[in-house]
Structures are given as structure tokens and as C-alpha cells.
Amino acid sequence: MIDIKLLEKKAEGGPSYYDEYKQTLLNRGASVDALDLVMSQNKKRKELMTQAETAKANQNKVSGEIAQLKKAGKDATSLIEEMGKLAVSVREMEQTAAEAEIEVTNILLTLPNKLRPEVPVGKSENDNKEVKTVGEAKKLPFKAMEHWEIGEKLGILDFERAGKVTGARFTFLKGAAAQLERALIQFFMDLHSEKHGYTEMIPPFIVNTASCVGTGQFPKFVDDVFHLTGTDYHLIPTAEVPVTNYYANEILKEEDLPQKFCAYSPCFRSEAGSHGRDTKGLIRQHQFNKVELMVFAHPSQSDELHEQLTSHAEQVLLDLELPFRRMLLCSGDIGFGAAKCYDLEVWLPGAGSYREISSCSNFEDFQARRANIRFRPNGGKPQFVHTLNGSGLAVGRTLIAVLENYQQEDGSVLIPKALQPYMNGKTKIS
């Protein structure tokens, strides 16, 4: 959430925070109407509070006069009536100010994060900046199949029966595909916990509304989440939601930062607004598995830790020997809560394109302000931590990448060396 105090702060020898934030909205392609509205509502709230305080001071003064009149045995009826009217007026002003404060908070919850200066200005994914490419985009010496063709030919992916059991965008993983999915999860968790220093976590897969507000899913993306009717519970769209809120409304010790977690969870997304996109295969499912990397950082370390977290996600692709590229997302493609974000895109020979397999974001204090997660510097006042997260990796999309990059002309699929110990020594799916 954006700090209203920073928006009000006047500039000293340069553009104000308000001016910079307004430019962020324009660069994101967003309307500035909500910004203007929140500023006017906050001005109204402050004016009402000032009026209420002035009226209270007058109320205290009149109360003193009434006491003196009574002490002197004089009639104070008119002043008592005046004070009664004043008390009603104060209550009305305080009520209106409280309503204005709620309105200010509600508007602030809809405003996206302020972008870092290095985020390129652009309108869509076509304007993202390629930071680096690792490995060659494979051109197979035969006609490459897409992952769903491979899976159906091998009898390890069943979309038709999943459609019968549930509906569109669900899949049965069978045999080697189920084993490969399980192997990928364990490989990711082992790598991040044993080599990268993250604490393993399996979080709740259901969260409350406050948690979704804390990470920025609500209110803006409420339609993207599956809700449990009649409750305040929701299926998680990502482990980011429960893990970020692990420290909600807490104050951490400065010396305990950074805190790093790797969390496995299934993810559930309604995919509202994605009609007609990636309707075939595993790319855009309502349910999928993911291992999430989550860091609570000291503000002075978040840039460095963002680079580190991204490199940890990249290490999975390096170990699996999958070609990929790192993209710095532009202002028109970056997520609502991110101040800066890298996407890792893996090469898919069957599709003949790079596809996103991980987003690694630095949210700075945007989520921490919403979830009230702070740390106390030695001898200082509590400050908001910075939060960072990224997929390490999306399991289903990694399975896609393995099937397409390791496919053979005879229809079989080789198993990457890094995964063979997790597949009981199996070297090929055939």
C-alpha cells in the first residue's frame, strides 16, 4: 500500500513523491483519477479532524464556564443547551472523518506499487527488456511435438477424463508424469533448502480475506480467486499469500533479517479474463503445483536479495539444463504489487517460443504496509520490512519444459540427470 504521508510530502529541490507516483500510474497505463480522489478525501478527513478538535476545545471551555456559573449559583441553562448541540456536532464531525478515513484506506488498497526508476516504460510484454539468455533455443532434428501431444501419446496426461470429472483446465497426471511432478517438487525443495538456505514450509492452502488483502490479491483481483461460499475462506492462488502473512501484525528483530522460506503448495486460480488463451495443455490450469521462494528483508538489502532470489530460481533451470532467458518487466506488464520484477522464460521447442516459468518480484514495503509487518532497528522506531518472492519454480510448467526439451524422435522422453535420483534411477519415459 502507498504511504499517504509520502504523497502529501512537499518536494525539496526536485519532483515530489506525488509527482513520481503519478508518473508511475501513467507509465503503467492506469488512470490517475483514484490518486486525485484519495488526495481530496484525505484533505477532507484532515479538515474534519481539525474542526472536531477545535469544537472539542470549545466544548472544554464551555464546560469550565458552566462549572464556574454553577459554583457561583448562577443559571447555566443556555450554556448547557449550547454544549449539548456542540457535542452532537462533534460526534457528527468525528463520524464523517472516520468515514473519510475508511474511504481513503479503501482507495489506497486499489493503487498499485510505485515503480523503480530502472523499470523500462512500455505498454505490453513486447516492451520487456531481455537481461540475459542462457543456453541455446533447441531446434530438434525432427518435428517437435507440444507437451500435450507427448503426454497423450505416452498415456501419461489425460485431459479428457479430467474434463469429465471436473471441467475444462484440469488434468490427470498418470504414471511417469505423476512421478515426474513429484520428483520436481522434491528436487526444488531440496535445492532451495540445502543449497540456498531457505527454510522449508508447507503452508495452509486456504486463507482468510485479510491475508489476501495483505498481499494485494484483494480487492483488485478478487475474481481471480476461488471462494468457499458461506465462509471468510479462499483457496490460495499461490503460497505467496499464506507465507507473506506468516508475520502479519508482528515486529521482527533487525538481527533476524533476512528471513527466507521455500514453500510447496498447490495453487488455485479461476483464470478470470483468460478465456481463449492457452486452452490446450498444462500452461493455464485452474489447479497446479508450485514451489515459492519468499524473503522478508531489511530495506537496505532488498535489491541485493532480489538478485539473489532470481539467481536461485535460475539455478533450477541450469541444473535441469533447460534453455531460458531473464526479462526485466516493463511498466505495462509488471504486476500490481511489484516495484521491480524479473520473469524467467523457458524455451519450449514444441511451442517454438519462450514461456514464463517464474516471476521474481521486489515489493519493497508495499505488502508489509498492508499486512503490518515491521522490524525494530536497534534503538529505533519500528519500520516496515521489504518482501520479495518468486517461483522456484512453477512445477507444471517445468514438467512441460522437460517433456518438450527432452523429447526424442521415437516419442520417448529422456529424464534430466538432476532428476534421475528422484525417479528411482529411471533415465527415460517411453
What is the band of 168 on the pLDDT scale with cuts at 50, 70, 90? very high
User: What gap in Å lies between CA 358 and CA 204, rounded to an integer?
Assistant: 22
Our answer to whether residue 169 is catalytic in this structure is no
Domain contains 117: no
The CATH number for 82's domain is: 1.10.287.40
Q: Are residues 90 and 135 in the same domain?
A: no
Our answer to whether residue 326 is catalytic in this structure is no
Our answer to whether residue 359 is catalytic in this structure is yes
| Catalytic residue chosen out of the listed positions 200, 284, 311, 355 | 284
What is the band of 146 on the pLDDT scale with cuts at 50, 70, 90? very high
Residue 303 has pLDDT above 90, yes or no: yes
**What digits encode the pLDDT tens for the residues 122-143?**
999 999 999 999 999 988 999 9
What is the band of 103 on the pLDDT scale with cuts at 50, 70, 90? very high
Q: Are residues 22 and 165 in the same domain?
A: no
User: Residue 334: its pLDDT value, please?
Assistant: 98
Q: Which of 196, 290, 302, 284 is nearest to 243 (CA)?
A: 290
Our answer to whether residue 409 is catalytic in this structure is no
| Catalytic residue chosen out of the listed positions 269, 325, 369, 374 | 269
What is the band of 88 on the pLDDT scale with cuts at 50, 70, 90? confident
Q: Are residues 101 and 167 in the same domain?
A: no
Q: Are residues 231 and 365 in the same domain?
A: yes
User: Residue 318: its pLDDT value, please?
Assistant: 98
Domain contains 140: yes
| Catalytic residue chosen out of the listed positions 8, 355, 356, 412 | 356
Domain boundary, last residue among 108, 140, 171: 108
User: Residue 82: its pLDDT value, please?
Assistant: 77
| Catalytic residue chosen out of the listed positions 359, 361, 364, 391 | 359
The CATH number for 307's domain is: 3.30.930.10
**Bridge pairing between strands 259-268 and 199-201:** parallel
User: Residue 272: its pLDDT value, please?
Assistant: 59
| Catalytic residue chosen out of the listed positions 28, 325, 374, 397 | 397
Q: Are residues 164 and 277 in the same domain?
A: yes
Q: Are residues 332 and 261 in the same domain?
A: yes
Our answer to whether residue 284 is catalytic in this structure is yes
Domain hosting 99: range is 4-108
Torsion sign, CA atoms 211, 213, 217, 222: positive
**What digits encode the pLDDT tens for the residues 172-205?**
999 999 999 999 999 999 999 999 999 999 999 9
Q: Are residues 409 and 262 in the same domain?
A: yes
Residue 330 has pLDDT above 80, yes or no: yes
Percent of the chain scoring above 70 in pLDDT: 98
Omega before 299 cis (within 30°)? no
Q: Are residues 275 and 198 in the same domain?
A: yes
User: Residue 185: its pLDDT value, please?
Assistant: 98
The model's pTM is 0.92
